[in-house]
Every structure is written in structure tokens, then in C-alpha cells.
Chain A
Amino acid sequence: MTPTFKPQSVPELADYVALGGRLEVVGSGTKRGLGRPLQPETAIDMSVFTGISLYEPEELVLEAGAGTPLSEIEKALAKNHQQLAFEPPDYSKLLGGKHKGTLGGLMACGLSGPRRIKAGAARDHILGIAGVSGRGEIFKAGGRVVKNVTGFDVAKLMVGSYGTLAALTSITVKVLPAAATQETLVFSGLSDAKAIQAMSLAMQSACEVSGAAHLPGTPSQTLFRLEGISPSVAYRRQKLASHLKIFGASDHLEQKDSLAEWKAIRDVERLSADDARFVWKLSLTPSKAAETVARISKQLDIQYFYDWAGGLVWLGVPRSNQAYAYIIRNCVEDGHATLFRAEDDVRERIEVFQPQLPALSGLTKRVKASFDPSGVFNHGRMYKDI
């Protein structure tokens, strides 16, 4: 059992970090299964940095402690009909956790849901951060306003850095109005290749699709979410149905079913149930997604579905010593593959994140060192020495 240190204040955290060692930064621990496994000397419990310190709905800004539960933030936003537009997923079923985790964990892992195709990713919604670097220095970056180019965008760099650069204590995000209604247009029975074409056409239309997913099955379903005020949603649904009529007749889901369906897609529920499988997350050039999956399925028994109009493929593969990393990465040409769910020993053995070319890898190492020269934080979480 790793001992835990629970700082009571930011200066206390800074003092402790300055002592060095190998530390794991922990919010509520729901995403410990992501990235490479760690062997820390001490886990730092960040739960003291909690609570919403500033929320101004009319300014579209919220600042909260990094350890604030996401549920608390989403509740506060919902009261004002607002949301984190990038649709933070809840991987508790997929990864085995009790809840959705914290704001810090979400940002550290840079996770975004289906609306990413329209509203952008987690990184597009961060405005500012404060925290402690691996040198034990307290620093901040960014601000609380949407438009800010003062200095390097260090806040963005924190998103998806898996806690390898700094221990964030406070995070400021941009929030947006939640849509009044939503509906989902459904096409049945399309092949993967046809579905990719349909999703591409839909995204090329002015229908403002805010979710485009394809779920293989008998029959397969290709889903398009439309959000907004109801007359606009109804109009765009009809328009999209007619725009895509070469793909056959369509049906639609009303608000309640639409919400449930997109939550299931967001949370990767299809692959959550079968925990005998390892899960890969593929980020792909959308138009090439079907051929990529076809190449993989020739060699492996896979379960999968497409989100982000093909730009994201969730892939379940049988358990194996190497999680078939070689086959999968060989098939992914324009994009990258992340091993998202597998036991520690597998994630220890293979590269969880796409291996980088030497120049980029060298730069990544130097960037890590610029924040954390002696590798205090989450050492080895992303890449072997990073």
C-alpha cells in the first residue's frame, strides 16, 4: 500500500513537492487505470483543493479546486442551464470506479464526449490554471477570460498531460449554455463504409450536428444528434433526413431516448459490460476509419463502434500479452492508438500511448523536464521516462 500525503494548503503542497521523490497526484482515483501504471513512493491526495470558487453564468466562467467532484460542478451548471460543452464522459463502468471523478482528473486526462465534433475538446475549454510544478514552485497560467494570448498557453498544455507536469490546485473553465432540446436522427442497416460517408456528408452540411456515431449490429444504427431550440431542431432534422436520403429512410429519437443513447455512447457502455476484453481508443482521420477497422478485423476478433463522425473508434480486443498493439498500430495510418483498458502488467509492458518519433519524443522529454526536472510527478505515466 502506497502511503498518502494530504496537503492542507497550496504552500504545504509546494514544500512537500520540493523535497522530491516519486509522487502520484490523485484526485479521486477514478482514472488510475489510464496511462502506464506507476510505482510511486507517495500518493498525494488532492481532495482538499475542492469547491467552486467562482461561477459567473453571465460571464460563462467557472473556477474550481482541481479536486472538486465533477458531479458538483455539473449540478451547479445545470441550475443555470449551462454545461461543460465538451461533454465530460463518465468511464466508471468502463474502468471500474464509483463515480465520475474530479475536474482535475478530467482535465489531466483530457477527455471529451461526443459533442467534441462541434464544441471542441476539454483543451478548448480551459482558461487558466494554478498549481505546483515539479520544482515545488507555485505558479499560474492563463486567466479567467475567454480571449487571452498573454504568454504561452500553459493551461492548454496541462490538459492531457496526465499529471506529469504539475499538480494543479485550481482550474478555470469556459462554460456554455445547454441546449433547450435535442433529437437524434437514426439510419438503420448501413455498412461501416456507408455510415462513414453518411457521417461525412452530415458534417459537411449546415445542420449543426452535435453528435455523429455508428453502432454496428443487426441492424446497425447510425445516429445524428441535433440540439437547440425546438423549431430549429425540427427543421434541421428534416433537412438532414432529406440531405441523407440516399442512405435510406430514417427514424428519430425524441429528447428522452436521445439523451440516454448519447450518454451510453459517451460512456462507452457497449464495451464496458464485457470486461474480458481490452479496450483501445483510436483517434483517426474520419474518412479512413472504416478501412482502418476493416484491416484490423481481418486479423482480430473485435467489438467496436464509431463516434466523432468516424474520428474516434472504440475497439474491444481479446485479452493477450501484448494487447495486439503491433497489429493495431500497424493498421492506424493517419492517427494514433491508445490502450485504454487493460491490466497493469500489460500497460507496463507495451506503450499505452502512440510511440513518438525521436525528435518529438526528445522535445516531449524536455518539456516535461521544464516543469519537473527530476521526475517527481507521475513518473512514467505517459511514456517510459516521462
Chain B
Amino acid sequence: MTAAATPAASPATTGEQPGVRLARSRRNSELSLLLLAMVLVAAYGAIVEANMLDTVTPDFWMPAAVLTVLFLGMHLVVRFLAPFADPVLLPAVALLNGLGVGFLRRLDLAKAAPAERETLAIFAGTGGRQLAWTLASVVLAAGLLALVRDHRAVSRYAYTLGLAGIVLVMIPAVLPGRFSEQNGAKLWIKFGDSFSIQPGEFAKLALLTFFAYYLVRKREVLSLASRRILGIDFPRGRDLGPVVVVWLISLLVLVFEKDLGTSLLYFGMFVVTLYIATERVSWLLIGLVLFFGGAYLAYVLGSTIGGPFANFYDRAEIWLDPFAEPHDRGYQLVQGLLALGTGGLFGAGPGDGQPGLLPEVSNDFIFAGIGEEIGLFGLSALLVIYLLIVERGLRAALAVRDSFGKLLAGGLAFTLGLQVFVIVGGISKLIPLTGQTTPFLSAGGSSLMANWLLIAVLLRVSDAARRPVTQARGPAARPGGGPPEQLHGAPTEVIRP
């Protein structure tokens, strides 16, 4: 038992965080970064038009302008409701979101008849739809910031959220295929032909909130009661219960929704929050063994009995050798790799690639489609922006004073990073390909909305983290920064050695 693991000790390590010493809101930095990001988005739109239409239309700046107005509004909301929030998060996300809209609009331009290209309306096509979804998502994120002035208040609804999360995960699995299935995975709830939502994206947030709350309550018992095997502390069998339950849920997702990616995401999310809460490496080991064991078992079952595991087996086979069936099963992955390879170091240039040759280029393969045009250097920059968002989120977790906030922000930031890893690793043949959205880039309202809510939570937590202690508001009002009362008051389990 290390001293750092005790609740009282954790604020001590964060006592010297930047917010305390500097007490600067950095809102003006956020504003200038945001404007810079929007200039980049506008420039991207101009280059796309120059390459695709051989001319830059007088209206090229319209989508960027709409986004600028929108994000400036969000900036004002942050300025007033979360003045000490991290200044990098919003501009970084705005840049990704803007480039995503720009690339989707570029796809629309390619699809449009030559005569209509120069007059493509800004809310037309997939790009326009994405722009509209961005509007809704940012408004929703602002609403969340306005509604939740203190992230700890969320823990009051933890069980409700946990239940909601499980229900959201289960709905597509139990719905008949025609209401939930698309491209072989049952992830959707479809309302008619044109509108569908992916409840899993929102379930992610709800489940994580529940995990954070549950683990803060149980962290003592989970980290103290143990059995030492081979020099590693293993938890007691009875405490394994929730882990096994979540493991089962993620396997169910895997089997019934045929979605390895979401399953991996939930499981990684849970194991990592468990590890953060308990500081016990054994949880990581158990998690990894369970996941890889489960995945391997699914692979073996898929190759022998097929059935619900066949899809998983297929995906593993494609991953091992996509060029074995380049026109059939391996088609998507092969085309993704060829697009990335064609892009090379510098890319073909925005608007000069051939994303039309890529299947699912507006969703799963958007990173490959963009990669063909901006090359390795451009993609590296995008990865750095994602990394920046994740590390900024983790920084907020490090700096915030309460355990719930730490777990919430840490878990969300890691989940975002893991999702980027799963999809980008999938399309680049690092890991088996699974249908995940690329956060903020892929077309799709559910993903965009859920990820903007995630960012709103990170903004809220970072605001609490960086708020000067002297200000008599927020978590810092509690001298010593101990865990919030309601968590403190949770019944402590009797520990039997």
C-alpha cells in the first residue's frame, strides 16, 4: 500500500498545479488559437476548391465562417461558464471538426455533377449535414457546460447513468436486424432510412461516469484486499464481480453486435479506470489476459463453429493477410492501405486524391482518405492534435482535486485516445479493423455529439482543476481538497485481511 494511493494523499501531489500559481484563465490564448484553427480550415477549403474546380469560388469561406461563428459562441460560453478551462482543448477539437467538415464537403464536390460543383450549397450533402450536426453538438456541449456547473454533481446520477448506459448498449443487440444492422454490425437504432443513431457512442459517456463513481466508492476495498501471487497483488475473488460483469457485457457486444472495436473500447476504458482508481498493475494484467483470451477464443470458435463468431474470425483473417482476397473480403483494408501508400510523405494535396475509390471513406476510412491527400506529414500532425487533446484531458485529471473528477477526466481522455488508436490502427493494419468512428472527423451525428459532450466534460473538469484555490467556488473551496462529502460518506467496506 503506497501512500499516494490513499485519498488524502492524492491532492498533495497536485497541490502545486499551474492553476494555483498562475491563476490565469488563458481565455485569450484560446481565442487566438481558435482563430488560427479557423484560418487553417478556411485555407483547406480554398486549396480543395483550387485543386478540384481549378478556381476558388467567392463562397469558399462560408463553411469556415459558419464554424467560426459557432466556435466563437462556444468560446464565449467557456469564457463565462468555465473561465479556467484548458485553453487548448477547444481550438484543437475545432480544428479537427473543421477539417472533417471540409473533407466531407470535398467528397460531396467529387460526387456532384461538374456543372453543380461551383454552386454546392454549404448545408448540402454529407459535409453540409456534418456542419449541421456540428451546430447541434456544440450547442449541446454548451448546454452541458451551462447545466453542470460542478462536475461532482454528476455523480449523484451515477446509477441512473450506469443503467442508461447498459440499456443503450443493449438496444441494438436486441432490436431486429433491420432496425439496427448496417455493414454487418448491429450498432444502430434506425428511424426510417435517413436517420439513425449509434447509442453506443453515448453509452460510453454514461458507463464511464458510473465506473468513476463506483470505483471511487470501492477503491479501498479493491486496492487493499488482495492475495499475493508471484509478487503481484491480485484482488479477492468476490471483488472481481463487476470486472467480470463488464467483461461479459463487452463480450456480448462482441458477439451480438459483431463489433470488436466497441467491445475493446469498453473493456479498455473500464480496466484503465480500475487501474487509475486502485493503482494496481494486477488489474491491467487481468484485463489484458481476459481480453486477449476472449479475443483468441472468439477467433478459434469462429474458425471452428462459426456462427456469431464468424464475423470476428473473418476480420482477424483479413487483418493477417488483406491481399489474399483483395477484391472480396480484404477489399476495404487493401484500398485503405493503397490510399495511404499513394499519399506517401507529402500527400497528393487536398482535393487531388481519389477518395472515391475508398469504401466507407466518409466514416471508417476517413483517415485513409485524408491521408492520401495530406500524406504522412499531415497525418502525423492530426495524430499530434489528438494526442494533445488526450494528454490535456489527462492533465486536467492530474490537476483536479477530487477522485471522481480524476477518474472521470482520466477515463474519458484515455477512451478518446483508445478510440483513435482502434480506428487508425485498424485502417492501417496495425490491429484488426473494426468499425469505429474517427472522433470529430467521421461523418455521423451520434459520434460527433457524444465526443463534443466528452469535450464539455473535460472542459468542466479542467476548469475545476485550474481554478485558483482562493476563489470561493468549485472543488477548491474545500481546503485540503479531500474527496467530496457524498463520496466520503459512502459506507466503507469491512476489510478482511
- A in complex with B: no
